[in-house]
Structure 1
Amino acid sequence: MKKPVIICVDDQPTILDSLKIELKATLGEDYAIETAEGGEDALDLLIELLEDGCEIPLVISDYLMPDMKGDELLRQVHQISSKTIKIMLTGQADVKAVGNAIKYAKLYRYIAKPWQQEDLKLTVKEAINSYLLEKELAEKNVKLQQLNEELEALVDRRTAQLRQEQEKFAKAFQSTPHAITITRLRDGRHIEVNDAFCEMTGYAADEIIGRTAVDLNIWVNLSDRKRLFELLASQGFVRNYEFESRTKSGEIRTALLSSEMIEIGGENCLISVSQDITERKRSSEELRKSEERWQLVLKANNDAIWDANLVTGEVFRSRRWKEMLGYEESEIGNSVDEWKSRIHPEDLNRVTAAMKQHLDGITPFYTAEYRLRCKDDSYKWIQDRGQAVWDESGKPVRLLGSQSDINYRKQAELNLAESEQKYRSLVETSQDVIWACDRTGRINFINQASKQVYGYEPSQMLGRYFSDFLAPEAVAASNEWHQRLLNGESIFQAESTIITQDGREVNILTNAIAVKDPEGNIIGTTGTASDITTRKQAEIALKQAKEAADKANRAKSEFLANMSHELRTPLNAILGFTQLLSRDPSLHTEQKEQINIITKSGEHLLNLINSILQMSKIEVGRVSLEPNPFDLHHLIETIEDMLQLQAQKKGLQLIFDQDPNLPRYLKTDESKLRQVLLNLLGNAIKFTKEGGVTLRVKSEQSSTGVSPVGDLENVSITNYQLPITHCRLYFEIEDTGPGIAEAEMDNLFKPFAQTETGRRSQEGTGLGLPISRQFIQLMHGDITVNSKVGEGTIFKFDIAVDLATSSEIQATQETKRVISLEPNQPEYRILVVDDRMESRLFLVKMLTSIGFSVCEAENGLQAVDIWSMWEPHLILMDMRMPVMDGYEATKRIKTHLKGQATVIIALTASAFDEERSVILSAGCDDFVAKPFREQVILDKMTQYLGVRYVYEQQHSSTPSNGELPSTTPAGNTHSSFVLQPESFQLMPPEWVKELYDAACSIDNELIFCLIEQIPSESAPLKHAIADLVNNFRCDQIIDLIDVFQSQ
């Protein structure tokens, strides 16, 4: 008898071979397997087999084939052999194609490519079983039909035969492993169920018969039931319909359902065959997850994975292998030849030998590091690791492994080797000794420098202790620092003395650190040793020179302190008494002028003394920067006003050129900056005979586009940027004077040195430029000079400043003259202590005239006695006195409880700031430098005692018509007179011209001579002009006359 034939159709022979092998394994030898590589061939084969009387239970066809698609082939197969089961294999079939196959070819099921072996096996078995069942049913129908045809003749026999056939059907119905039910189509009630259905659902047959699947809650999703009946209504049958069912116990299972409508006893019924595929689904899901995990591992792992079949030669390589070489997936193949062709020629033999050793069982693993050629023809280092799989006979059949990109590591190793060689060369060529010791201090490495420093070859020092080469007195210290390093101290530096091989003593500086192993344990020490003998000798010489210099500086400082006291103290009396005399209301104009001349001469002498002392302070390093916030624009305007008349007197142009972006509010030492500018501009005007003098000022801030701090009130919140806090100012003073010869440039900034022009002028001390340079350097800048003889000179300097705000600038208060104490105040007791009679006399007279109660002492001991009896509110204490100085007297007074309430203000003629610090530390509340103005003393009394004064009245308002202000003392009968340009009409033009020239020359003596020529009836004019001169306002006289002459 011929075997049933299964036809497999695919246009790829390899797939047909695989399919044939798997069908053989599944069905055994009970079925013949025929193949066709196209639709037309398959139809010809089908017809030929049918003509030959062969049974065709199953046709399995691919969907995409060149000559005919699978759905069309199966439709034609159905037309030729409708009972044949049809299965379609496809990886790309759309829903429409599958629907066509189901509708026109009664497609049993389609399987997605690539198929799972278990899925294919189960599906084929189900299809064969379904075919056999349908065949059996068909055969029974045929037999029943035959029985019906014979029924009329042989009723009894036919009835018996029908019963026999029914019994056979019932036996087959009940014995099949598939769950089968028969239901009425009109109401869905079960007519018959087999044991397999009862087993699958958990119900007994009598619980099912007469009830519907909905009654039994079998359908998990009623939408599945609705869809099933839609398919039945459209095509009359359903094959392999997957749905979820619920058992009696509530367990959810997955089943495949095939249903077809039949007629029983004249009633439409539905016969359904179900198969529980829950376990198969679970296995399939586990397989899918396993595959997914494997794919994720391959994707996430930075290593490449490979798998070589040593029998077939097939090789799998993950995408990462090609990416490492710079290729896309499709650009190169996976073959062994492809891999071998890319190995560097120098590495190929070594790699293949390593692989052979493993395959021969010599090594447990295959491992190799070698270079592979990349897409850009460069070579990349790869680490290859693998392990073989052997069959029962010991023959290797498979080799699996991974590959890592170690190019970066190899490059690092190469760099490390090069670096190690470089540093080894540095160590060996170093002029310093580089060494290493073990924990005991024994030398285990030392470089070639040991010959120059120690006088020994390295080989002579290895294995010995450093203490063997140290001077005896240095051994203990060396052992100590070695032990400290072993105890965990991170780094150590020490100086010591060694004895060289030829017996010389050499000073060395040793730097050492502890050496640790990978676990962090200290295993020794290492470091360097430098010969510092020359440096030590230089340090000794420098120390001796410094000691000598310090001794000289101390002597100079003592001399300067004495000179400061001896020179400034007499000046204090001179200037003090001139201030006192100027308070006398009985003085006439000539006497006031004489007092003014004494005051100006004294101030000139004080300025000269200050310059000399300042230069001396600079030389001993006792000048410091005293930054304060100030208005730069106001400072420049003030200097311009001060020098303008002096320039006009010589017929010179004085030009001040300011950058428009010059910041206004700054913080640096305003006093020193003013002195520098006055020195440089004053020199320029003094030595320039024609042309002019120009000052240029600009700034450079740390960044651009940021508003100066002083202008922050104009910055909106939307454009605000962090303010700049630092700035550099650049000054340039250019004149058209005689210039400076090249030979004189070197001496320009030396103290007391003057150029030829300066010597001819017979003015100045030669200290202005040196002091200016020192001040500029203090302000973190420098000064340069460029000059050509006969053309002029340019001085340039720059300084560093901080920016300030307008709120930091204190408004300048107008100084008013004190004439008495306000009434209704306590009687303030003031003690004046000074060993100089003239100094005491000035203070006593000045304070008594205002209204204070004053007592005096000529030394500190007297001061303590008077204080204890009289208990003054405030003491003005000179600090340098015989018998007992001010320091000791202050300390004694302040040790008492009531002395804490006594204000002590020190009077000092010292030029040194540090002495003032000592004064405050002795207990003084404040200090005033000699010589001083009376207003300074009076302000201190207000500050500490709250004294209130009556001041001289002042008129300083400026009329709206531009008239200049006039200042007159309280009680002056001419206080209502205002000096105006037309006031000069009272005097002849010649007199006005002489007054103008005298004012331009600031010749006060000539001005007062001219004032005496004013008639007595014009006394208000006389007093107004004198008032301007006394207040140093010759510039207002010039302005008034200019206006008068223009009229």
Structure 2
Amino acid sequence: MVTMTYPDSSPNVLRQLARWKTSLFISTVFWLLIFSIVPAADAGVTGSEKKQIIVGGEINYPPYSYIDRKGEQTGFSVELTKAIARVMGIDVQIRLTSWPEARKALDEGRVDIILGMFYSEDRAKIYDFSPPFSINSDSIFARRNSPAVKSIEDLRNREIIVMRGEVMHDYIIKHHLSDRLLLTDTPDEALRLLASGKGDYALVAQMPGFYWIKELKLTNINTVGPPLEPFKNCFVVKKGNTVLLSRFVEGLNILNQTGEHRIFYEKWLGVLEPVGTNYKNFVKYAAAVIVPLLILLAGSLLWTRTLRIMVAQRTKELQKSEESLSRAVNAGNVGIWDWDLRTGQIFFSPQWKKQIGFEDHEIAGRYEEWESRLHPNDLAATVAVLKASLAPPWHPYNVEFRMRHKDGSFRWILSMGALEFDEQNQPVRMMGSHIDITERKKTEEALWESNEMFSLFMQHSPIYIYIKEVTPTQSIVLQASDNFQVMIGMTGREIVGKNMAELFSPEFAAKITADDWAVVSNGEVLKLDEELNGRSYSTIKFPLVREDKNLLAGYTIDITDRKLAEEERKKLQDQLQQAQRMESVGRLAGGVAHDFNNMLSIILGYADMSLDALQPSDPLRENIQEIISAGQRSVNVVRQLLAFARKQTVAPKILDLKDSVEDILKMLRRLIGEDIDLLWKPASDLWLVKMDLSQIDQLLANLVINARDAIKDVGKITIETANVAFDMSYCESHRDFLPGEYVQLTVSDDGCGMDKEILANIFEPFFTTKELGKGTGLGLATVYGIVKQNNGFIKVDSEPGKGSTFRIYLPRHQAAEENTEMTALPVEDLTIVETVLLVEDEKVILKLGKIMLERLGYTVLTANTPDEAIRLSREHTGEIHLLITDVIMPEMNGRDLARQLTILYPKLKILFMSGYTANVIEQHGVLDKDIHFIQKPFSRKDLAFKVREALSS
């Protein structure tokens, strides 16, 4: 692979460069002679030089001065300045800013010297310039397919982009070339504007221009027309500060003598021809000064001992200079070659041979020694460049290629050369250098691979990555990953150069810009979550440290799926917690129901019998009635707990909600009073449901009472029914809903309503907003439990001041079953002849039950344990018609006892009784059709009905 560089090589420019090289040597001698008059000891106290010299320069002017990727100041002018400071023992501080700011700082005395300014006659009136250390040409840059340009006059009255205060800016103003100017502070800014469609042409220094076109990948612009007249690049001080300038000139001369100047030049700029490092050239220039002096001195016969001493001293200095030059060449790993085009002989320096692993005597001075060692892939292109430089128009020789090392490996070489012509303007000699750039190539390759990997990452990254330049009012994309197509419909390449207002809505763009400016101005990392077009994003932004620009980098991750997963996880967690609460309440309700209902059975049973034994006028009747009333309220509390925990024992039947609601309307109207209207809006052709009728009563009673309490004075409560169906898509967006057909029961009111905090807790047991003593907090908890026990769900809508609406969805029952409910005969119409075996582990309840049954006319056998019941059954000689047994007992549960006794008495009827069944005789609280059950506590009337029902089944 061959890399070729073709600086401007027109004959006029070459001749001017040759004149400049000669004048450089003469002017350097002139400055040294002038400044040698100034005593070095006085230099530090003249007031023109500070203890630390502040050197200004342009921050974005590669390859002369700029900030590299590591954030360090570098470039040809920067390294040259540091080298001058080193050899002269000067303490310098380099400050790189925009070009207008650099000139302003020099004018105001904030910097002492500028490390690079193009010379012009107008500028020389206000500044002192050093001899030039390089030249550069401005070029005319244009977008591709722009009109051809033959000279700068073709730009007259065009819209021109130019750097503020730059030499071409001065030229345009002086020659009134155009009033349509777009001024920038840096060359890259000028080229960016041109590439984006602004302006007609841009005037930018050639080398920085080429650098930024490559760096910024501005493929739509190039140079047009010939390069403009070259300008001398010099060190500059304010007018009169000659002492400081003299020290920089002296340091520059030392670098010229040691060859370091040439090394820096070749490293950063390349050369059109060697910069005076050849001994013969040096002697030639020395002779141009010394010989005339000798003739003058001989002619004037002023040959004195002093002059001989000066000549000897100067000769010694020249020898030292030559030795220093030789050391610099060797230290810089520069190989020299000198080709006599007339004889074909080539001189290869020892360093040239050493670069490819050979000793001085191992390679002869022949052209073939060079060509035969070229890499096969580089041979043709390299030879073509050489031939082009040997024929008109004499292209400069500047090429990179690989040469085979003695060990068989290949080394990368940068070769540069220039022609020497005879009086007939024919090339007679070509001199040049070899520089081993293998390590640089490895670095470039590693950088290329790094850039390539970065490019691939930006192309395929699932994360949205970007770098932006930020001002208080704008945030412009400099780089972006390609996947922005997914987010905003434009690729990363398409959004480069665009402001946020061009990509997002005004409000969102303003927010992004404000956030970005906060990041760069505060120097802090920003983490935030955002919503855009229905998607959720998580973003992290952080500042990039640059002295000249406010940059930030950031990345954005689409967290929509993760957020949905988190919401689903929270939903499942809430459901788990709810299930755990239900389980806890269920265990509490089970324990309370079993023990507490046993005690209530005793209290209510004996109170009921005591009430029957008293005369209507007996004063104790009122006390006993209060006991019964309090006991019944306690029974209701336990039943509500069981209903919430879905531990209530029910016997579901197929129901028409329209009929069920109408049966309870009268009772509901008594509950709410006369000031509140109760509206009933039944739907026609309502679907059937299957549930316990008592649960319908509990649902409506609790909801209507809750609605009544939410209405302060007068108001309205509405009960409605409807058929509804939900599909999967609806259920996915509504928590707890399941697809299917449902009967909707709605209770709404125009009361005070509820806020979100209250809504989140209304179904919690014992949660209430009512005053102490006016509510147990179990009403809505009971509703929730009943709905869940019947595989339904509930939805609540409420806002403060807008009332509340409770919608209950009960599954539609499809099977057409007929209810075969048996109507029990009145007890007083029956002749009782049956024998009943009563089994109860609580002796007090056993005694109470026996009394009740005997008063009903039954023959009663009693047993305190299952084992005792089995023994009595075996010993009894007659028939046992009915077994009444507690469900939960220590030795054996009631169902197992019934199985054993039916073996002895196959026709035996069974009636279970319990305060809490614990799923022994039912599944999830629902009784099978053939099971008879009575809930503790019960009255004598309830017992009579259930016994008769069981015996008649």
TM-score (norm 1): 0.31
Structure whose CA Rg is larger: 1
Higher relative contact order (CA 8 A, sep 6+): 2
TM-score (norm 2): 0.34
